[in-house]
Structures are given as structure tokens and as C-alpha cells.
Structure 1
Amino acid sequence: MAFQQIDVYLPDTQETLGKLGADVPIVDRHTVTLADGRVLERLIVDGTLTEAALERLQKQMGHTKDYRIVVSPIEATLPRPDEDEERKSTNGSDRISREELYQDMSDSVKMRGVYFALVALSVVVAAGGMMRDNTAVVIGAMVIAPLIGPNIALGLGTTLADRSLIVKSLKTNLSGLLAGLSLAFGMGLVLPVDPGQSEIALRTAIGLPDVALAVAAGIAGALAVTRGLSTAIVGVMVAVALVPPLVAVGLLAGSGEHDLAYQAALLLVTNVAGVNLASVLTFLVMGVRPMTWYKTEQAKKATRWALVLWTLVLAVLATAIWLAA
């Protein structure tokens, strides 16, 4: 992982950072007094040690008012790190820091107009592809769908016991799914829907491969965001599990095929549960934890409840699927 630049703005020259400690080696460090009297401490650390450095800084700044910490990626630096610096970097985790992860996920759950516009476009494109039995068009709809953020953010909020992120994720996720379902239902009312089309019929049957797909999508999405990678391609995989069954539910319900719509709804809810269960487990394995002891205890309880809830949902759905078979 590349180097990161950490800028610490202190209110005046009376405040100093001191030493960060041997556990957080600093590649480079500069102190600058700004024109307004504040002090800027600029640190360069290995990207894998960013979280440890931020935790230490926040603890040191606990008594300081009006400070600001800003993290920026460094694309390249010269001279290149020597072997000693590379060995030090292996002490860190192979993921971006908790704060960077939280910021990325917080941005993804904001309910902007473009979010609903992309949901609507993905539904229209997916519905057109499914009614014409055109797989390529359905795949195009998955590229558009912005559903990865709210689902992965829900898993992160649970792992960090962050009530605000959990609530925002649920609101954004449910709003997007309901908006897409309403649009697909309206299309089913006015357009001819053939349940025999393979792209529609595939979403009215569920088996273990579908559950495996949902779990794999959740793991891939969580891994992508923890590594700071682009979620565009991984978002397609999450959309595979959510968009087609969502559109199938709306089209079939709108056209009066309620039994088939029920089957597609089972697939949709199963996939949602699978994605969220997998994302929580992945964040746990990747070592994403709150900073304070109190929050850590809260996070353990929240995570246990989430794991029990999603597992129970999958068990209930498996029973419903077995009864409907």
C-alpha cells in the first residue's frame, strides 16, 4: 500500500505532538507555523500504518480543542523507501484506515437525486433486457445500479456499532429498493410481461448457487472497500444479486403473476440477507474495530445480533423456499 500524508493542524505553538512512538514509524515529518498562528505538523507514514497513527494522534489530541487531522494519499515519492522501511510496513494491516473506510461509506449512503436517478435507470434498462430476453442489456443495468454502497455501509455500521451509519444505510437501501420496485411494478401494469422469458423465469427459482452468489458478492464488496479499490466492478456483482430479482418482482406483480412474484421476492430477500451477512463477517475478519474499549464492547453486541438476525432470516427463507417447492 502507498504512503499517506497526515496533516495535523494545531491551534497554537503551545501544542506539540511529541513522539508518536516506535509502534508508528514516521517516514518523514515537518513542522510549519502558519500565518494565523496555528501549527501544521505534516507526517508521512506507510499506508498500512495509517490507522495506528490516527488512533495515536486522536488519543494525544484528546485534551486539545480546535485541532484538525487531514489524511491524503501520496501517489509517489522519491527517494524510494529502503528495505528497512518496507519491513516496517509489514506491521500494519493490508487495508485502508477505519476513518477512510468510514468516510467512503458515509458518502455512499447520502440520498441525493443522482442516486434515485441511477436506481430508476438501472430498473428501466434491466426491465427492457429481461422482457426482451437480452442478457447483455441486463448486465448493462447492473453497471448503472448504485446499490453496493448502502448494503456494505450497513455491514460497516454494524461492525463499528455506529447507530448513525446504520440508520442512514437502512434508509438509503430501503428507499432505493422501494423506488425500484415501484417503478418495475408500474412497468408491469402497462407493458406485456411474458413469465416464460428465461431472464424472468431464472429469477423465480432459487437454489444454493443463488445463496452462494449473494454471499460472494457481499465478501467481494467488503474486501474492495477495505482495500480502497474501485467498487465499480464489484458493484456489478452486488447488482447481480439485487437488481434482476427486484425488477422481476415488480414486473410479475404488476402483470398479475403473484405466485411467481412471491418466488422472485424470496430470491431478493435471500440475496439481501446473504450480502449483509457476508459483509459483516468480512469486516470482522479484516480487523475493522472501533477505537475505544466502550465502543468495541457495543460493536461486539451489535455484531452478534446482526449475525443472529441475518442467519435467522436466511433460515426462515430456506424454510419458505422448501415449502414453496
Structure 2
Amino acid sequence: MSARLVQIIVPDTEVPRAKSVIEKHCSRYWQEAVLGGLEKFSCVVPGRAIEALIAELDANFKDSEGFSVLVLQVEAVLPEIPELEAIVPAGSGEQKPPTRLEVFFTRDRISTNELYDDIEASLELRPNYLLTVILSALIAALGMHSGQTAVVIGAMIIAPLLGPTMAMAMAATLGDSALGRHAISTLVVGIFAALAFTFLLGMFIEVNPLVPELRNRTIVHPADIALALACGAAGVLAFSRGASLSLVGVMIAVALVPPIAAAGLFFGSGDHMLGFKALFLLATNLVCINVAGIVTFLVQGLPPRNWRITSGIFLIWLLILFLFVGLVGGRIAIGSYGPINVSGDSSSVQQASPNPD
């Protein structure tokens, strides 16, 4: 069951209008007086109806003194409430019951306000954020250096880049420039912090570019593009339903943290060409995640404030993606990604085909 307990406070003079709004969205609510000439309504609302309820309340009472709304997660309700399992409230008798197909396609996500609350804390540039970014990148770098996939997965679970990555796609969907600027600045600082510390690590350890975990981060294949698109879509889908941040983080980190760490190691060891190839994989993944994220947010019913802005940003991301796909396709067409030169050795080793993972 996806439901919220919504507590609404309005002036006494607005009680009749508040009741008419609330009754459109739920059939069970409680009313009580509070100090200061205010009235509080507590109502149980289906998760899919939260967006519409909050929007209507804001439109009607945003200028009313004392007006406020508090949304809480509900774990269980007894006795059961019919509209929690239906598309429309039971009281709206003039509407036909939903068909099985309508129920199947009903969006079940948390509200835009809840998305903002979930993402806000992760955009703050604090020592905790920088420390988890650095630790995640170092763990991923050491795991790739030793060829231990399990260690790389451990780095992904830390998920430090979850917040700004999700916020970029969300800002583009909503057309929120302030959120977009905040997300980009936080993400850029995190990427540079990870690159700096893995660069230092690369200066002090021997980096073998033939290790599969490192070699695969210097190659961009159609499968990598598909992986990044899937990561973005799965991450937004889980995030919009209020899933665990760690779960979403693995989906995103799988496409961002390893190439950052690989680029830092290669730059630190003097293999600048391989470092730039890893950064190209990072850029490709970031573009794919945003393209898939915007599409998934729209499919989930996140309402853009301005369709022109949202469409324009999406087209820019899409054009960049097509450019990257063209570059990848061109390199595949000529049949070579070039040789990998092992530092400190005059010989060149022809790069083997990447592992499918």
C-alpha cells in the first residue's frame, strides 16, 4: 500500500473551502481545532493523489495566514480505505470504476515535494559528501587495480554521486534552473575531488592498463551506452518511488564512479591518452543517465513547469548523445580502438576485445 497521512492547517474562515478540496482526494479525514484561530485536517491519501492534492491546496490557500501542509508516510491503515486500491476515490460515484488496464498503468510515485526533500540534503557540499566521494573513488581504484570486481561493487554501494546526478535529471525535467546549478556544482566538485585523489594514488602504485577492470574503462561500446541508459532509468524509477538511496546509488555509481577512478589512475601513472578515454566513458555515461532520467521522470508524471525549457534541455542532451554514439560507431567501423601502451615498456600490446560486462 502506498499512502500518506496529510495534515493540513487552514484559518477557521477557510474550513468549508478546505473540506471541499480534501473530499475530492480522500474519503477519510479528521478535523480538530488548534490554537490561533486555525483548524487542522488529517487525511489519509493515496500516494498517487498527493501531487494533485498539494497543488490544489497551494493554489487555494498559499496566501492564507497560518496555512501549512505536512506529509507523513503511512505503514498501515485499518479498516482498509477503498481509494488506496483504486484510481479514483470511492465517493466520486459519477465516475466509472477503473479498468484493470488503467490500474496497471497508474503511476505510483512520491510527490514532487517529497522528491525535493529527499534530494536536498545530498546536494550540500559538506565534508561528509567529499569524504564519501574520495573513499568511494579510492576503493573503486584499488579494486580495479587488483582486478577484484567485488571491491568495485563495494565502492558503488557508498553512492556519493547519487544526489547531484538525480538532481540534474530532475531539474531538467521540471525546468528548475536553481536546482540544476546546485546539482552541477556539487557533481563537478565531487568529480574533481575523486580525480585528484585517484591521481595521487596513480603516482605511487604501478598501474597495469591490461587489467580487465581498468582496460574496460577505456572503451566505449554500444553495450556501455545501453548500460548507462538502463542505470539512469532504473535509478529514477526507484528514486521516484522512495526506494533506498543505497539501492539507487548502485544503479548510478555503476556508470560513474569506476571511470572516474580509472581516469585518475591513468593520469597519475602518466597514461594521459587512456585517462582521456576513461573520461570519455564518464561523459557518455553522464549524458545517457540524464537522457534516460528525464524520460523516466516524465513517464512517472513529474510535471514540467515549462515544457519549452524541458524540451530544449532534453534535445541538447539527446544531440550530445547522438554525437557520442556517432563517435563510437565510427571507431567500431574502422575496426580498432588503438593499441594500449604499457608504461615503461617500449612494446605495444594490441587491445583485446572487452569483456561483455
- Are the equivalent residues in 1 in contact too, given 2:231–2:289 (CA < 8 A)? yes
Aligned length: 315
Asked whether 1:254 is paired with 2:268, we answer yes
- Are the equivalent residues in 2 in contact too, given 1:221–1:231 (CA < 8 A)? no
- Are the equivalent residues in 2 in contact too, given 1:189–1:254 (CA < 8 A)? yes
Secondary structure of the corresponding residue to residue 19 of structure 2: coil
| Cα offsets for 1:240-272 (capped at 9, x unmatched) | 111111111110011111111121111111001
Deviation at 1:39, TM superposition (A): 2.0
- Distance across 2 between alignment mates of 1:200 and 1:167: 32
- Distance across 1 between alignment mates of 2:312 and 2:195: 28
- Distance across 2 between alignment mates of 1:134 and 1:150: 28
Partner amino acid for 1:73? Q
Deviation at 1:81, TM superposition (A): 2.6
- Distance across 1 between alignment mates of 2:28 and 2:261: 53
Q: Which residue of 1 aligns with 2:65?
A: 65
Q: Which residue of 1 aligns with 2:353?
A: none
Partner amino acid for 2:21? L
| Further displaced range: 133-142 or 223-232 | 223-232
Match of 2:221 among 173, 198, 207: 207
- Are the equivalent residues in 1 in contact too, given 2:3–2:84 (CA < 8 A)? no
Asked whether 1:112 is paired with 2:119, we answer no
Q: How does 1:50-199 map to 2 (within 5 A)?
A: 50-82=50-82, 86-87=85-86, 88=88, 93-199=107-213
Q: Which residue of 2 aligns with 1:3?
A: 3
Partner amino acid for 2:325? A
The alignment's TM-score, normalised by the length of structure 2, stands at: 0.83
5+ residue gaps in structure 1?
A: none
- Are the equivalent residues in 2 in contact too, given 1:116–1:179 (CA < 8 A)? yes
5+ residue gaps in structure 2?
A: 90-97, 338-357
Give the 3 Å change call, closer, same or farther, for CA 127–6 of structure 1 in structure 2: same
Deviation at 1:48, TM superposition (A): 1.8
Partner amino acid for 1:13? D
Deviation at 1:111, TM superposition (A): 2.0
- Are the equivalent residues in 2 in contact too, given 1:277–1:311 (CA < 8 A)? yes
Deviation at 1:36, TM superposition (A): 4.0
- Are the equivalent residues in 2 in contact too, given 1:119–1:176 (CA < 8 A)? yes
Partner amino acid for 2:5? Q
Deviation at 1:316, TM superposition (A): 2.9
Deviation at 1:14, TM superposition (A): 2.3
Q: Which residue of 2 aligns with 1:286?
A: 300
Give the 3 Å change call, closer, same or farther, for CA 21–34 of structure 1 in structure 2: closer
Deviation at 1:166, TM superposition (A): 0.8
Runs of 4+ in 1 over 4 A off after TM superposition: 89-92
The alignment's TM-score, normalised by the length of structure 1, stands at: 0.90
Deviation at 1:106, TM superposition (A): 2.2
Deviation at 1:134, TM superposition (A): 1.0
Partner amino acid for 2:6? I
Deviation at 1:319, TM superposition (A): 4.1
| Cα offsets for 1:288-313 (capped at 9, x unmatched) | 104xxxx3xx2x12222222221222
Partner amino acid for 1:240? V
Q: Which residue of 2 aligns with 1:49?
A: 49
